[in-house]
Amino acid sequence: MSLSTLAIPLLIAVAVLVASSLFIVDEREKALVLRLGRVVDVKEEPGLGFKVPFLDNVEKYDGRILGLPTVPLEVTPLDDRRLIVDAFARWRITDVVRFRQAVGAGGIQGAQGRLEPIVRNAIREVLGTVPSTSVLSDDRTALMNQIRDEARNNSAGLGVEIIDVRLTRTDLPEQNLNATYARMRAERQREAADEIARGGEAAQRVRAAADRTVTELTSEASKRAEIVRGEADAQRNAIYADAFGRDPEFFAFTRAMTSYERALRPENSSIVLQPEGDFFTYLRDDGADGANPSPTPVPAGNSAENAAAEPPASGEDLVTPTVTDREGNRLGESAGVTLTPVPESLTTPPQQESGVVPPAATGAPAPEGAAAPAAAGAPAPEGEAAPAASTAQD
Residue 139 has pLDDT above 60, yes or no: yes
Based on the domain organization, do 58 and 76 belong to the same domain? no
Q: Does residue 227 fall inside a structural domain?
A: yes
Based on the domain organization, do 281 and 383 belong to the same domain? yes
Q: Does residue 317 fall inside a structural domain?
A: no
Residue 232's domain comprises 195-309+323-393
**pTM, 2 dp:** 0.43
- Mean pLDDT of the chain, nearest integer: 74
Q: Is 352 in contact with 231 (CB distance < 8 Å)?
A: yes
The number of distinct structural domains making up the chain is: 3
Instruction: Quote the CA–CA distance of 11 and 325 in Å, as a whole number.
Output: 128
Q: Give residue 323's pLDDT band: very low, low, confident or very high (50, 70, 90).
A: low
Based on the domain organization, do 43 and 116 belong to the same domain? no
Average pLDDT, integer, range 387-393:
36
Based on the domain organization, do 202 and 154 belong to the same domain? no
Instruction: Quote the CA–CA distance of 216 and 222 in Å, as a whole number.
Output: 10
Average pLDDT, integer, range 303-329:
57
Based on the domain organization, do 268 and 298 belong to the same domain? yes
The alpha helices in 29-162, defined as continuous H runs, are 96-103, 107-127, 132-136, 141-154
- From the number of C-beta atoms within 10 Å of its C-beta (0-12, 13-18, 19+), residue 276 rates as exposed
Based on the domain organization, do 101 and 121 belong to the same domain? yes
Question: CA angle at residue 385 from 384 to 386, to 5 degrees?
Answer: 95
Q: Is 61 in contact with 93 (CB distance < 8 Å)?
A: yes
CATH number of domain containing 96: 3.30.479.30
Lowest mean pLDDT among 18-32, 293-307, 349-363, 364-378: 364-378
Q: Does residue 215 fall inside a structural domain?
A: yes
List beta partners, residue 147.
Answer: none
Q: What end-to-end distance do the CA atoms of the chain give, in Å?
A: 185
Q: Does residue 36 fall inside a structural domain?
A: yes
pLDDT at residue number 380: 40
Note the pLDDT tens digit of each residue in 155-199: 888 889 999 999 888 877 777 777 778 888 999 999 999 999 999
Based on the domain organization, do 366 and 296 belong to the same domain? yes
Based on the domain organization, do 88 and 228 belong to the same domain? no
